[in-house]
Amino acid sequence: MSDGDDSLKLRIIDLETAKSSCLKRRAWDEFPVPQKTLDGIKDLFGEALTPEQAVAKIVADVRARGDAAVVDWTAKLDKVTLTPPQLEVSKQQIMEAYGQITGRTLDALEMAAKRIEQFHRRQPCQSWFENNEEGTLGQLVRPIDAVGVYAPGGTAPLPSSVLMTAIPAKVAGVRKVVLITPPQRDTGLPHPAVLVAAEIAKVDAVYVVGGAQAIAALAYGTETIPKVDKICGPGNLWVTLAKRILFGTVGIDGLPGPTETMVIGDDSADPEFAASDLLAQAEHDIMASAILLTPSRTLAEKVQVAAARQAAALSRVDIVKQALSRNSCIVIVKDVDEAIEVANGYGPEHLCLLLADAWQHLGKVRNAGGVFLGEQSFEVLGDYVAGPSHTMPTGGTARFMSPINVWDFVKIVSVVGLNEHALRKIGPSASALAAVEGLDAHRSAVDLRLKRLHIQ
């Protein structure tokens, strides 16, 4: 089967066609909800509800009933029966997880953790003050007190997500970092690799809860699960909807949509490598997006064949097939510059430059969660061990958002320590602006002080 399965072949299309199909952005909540999901909601709640309405009911229940609601929804949704004391994973259970993973896995997690910490410790994040004749102005940079890290556990365990989120929080100086992650049906505990990752990342506590009930528990707090100030980490539709509902009650890192990659390749690109990079994204989820932009028809056709052949051998081929047919494509563009402009407009989560002169084009990139330069600097390394967090903005939000980093776990406190000299200089202007805005008390607060200085 040298040409691969036709049903696994990526479409090769022109740019105008792509703009109305695979390059057309949709808000995360515009993706169609499968009928199976809607039927499941009706069976569970006894009435026809949208996913948003269902999640709102779960959130309200957790707020009202705490642990009791959490264990009830865990039983209904995850098919795992727990008691409130079992919601927190014990230290002994975490340490026992080390014996359930291979030495190779442990070494990989430790290497990844070391590189993630080293990378984020290089990020500038300091307070500053400026002193002059007017006094002092500055900014205090302070870590958030408590952060909840959500690690998904649906179609595959993601210990890497634990490291990629918890370690930047620890580097930032967050006092308490807790992990919340779904149980496995056979054990009632998180996957052993997830528990080991939590220990390596120095997480302060681990709770075995998933979905909307997990986000609600972190936002409001329960008898067992502590209330946090911010929740970070990727999740499924239920998690994202809960984050949307609870934004403002608790800090939220973002509303992640389906994962995506955009590869720009020229004639120098190896089609086997390009195909493998596209498939590495497509296997995440049926809604994942894998797009190749190239001015080379030859490369396009070779990647099409290679991707179909490689996909047929994957264990998650059913997921890959749907991802390739729904939101993925190969787009023929005029040249590399046009490809980069398309990428800037699209704002991909991952942008991979498989170009002979990749570094020469880096300066043209404005919007991307991460840029991967060259065939030896591919996205999968970034997913696990390169150093930067792999939790990156999706759905075009790279136009205004950044990957998880130290700044996500700190806040800035403005410092204003001005003196009489400053009041004499800037007070009259403050009074004038207060008058324009019709805020008499504001103006009076200035004028009273100016009168004391015999300025008015």
Spatial distance between the Cα atoms of 101 and 75, rounded to a whole number of angstroms: 27
DSSP 138: E
Catalytic-residue membership of 350: yes
Taking residue 101's Cβ as centre, other Cβ atoms within 10 Å add up to: 19
Spatial distance between the Cα atoms of 8 and 67, rounded to a whole number of angstroms: 45
Active-site annotation holder among 120, 284, 350, 390: 350
Tell which residue, 28, 3, 26, 23, has the closest CA to residue 292: 23
Active-site annotation holder among 283, 349, 375, 379: 349
Amino acid at 405: N
End-to-end, the C-alpha distance of the chain in Å comes to 90
Tell which residue, 209, 207, 206, 260, has the closest CA to residue 390: 260
Structure tokens at 38: 């809607």
Spatial distance between the Cα atoms of 269 and 55, rounded to a whole number of angstroms: 45
Q: Is the dihedral of CA 318, 255, 153, 116 positive or negative?
A: positive
Rounded alpha-carbon distances, angstroms, from residue 145 to 90, 187, 227, 251, 435: 23, 32, 11, 12, 39
Catalytic-residue membership of 349: yes
CB distance 281 to 22 below 8 Å: no
Residues with active-site annotation: 349-350
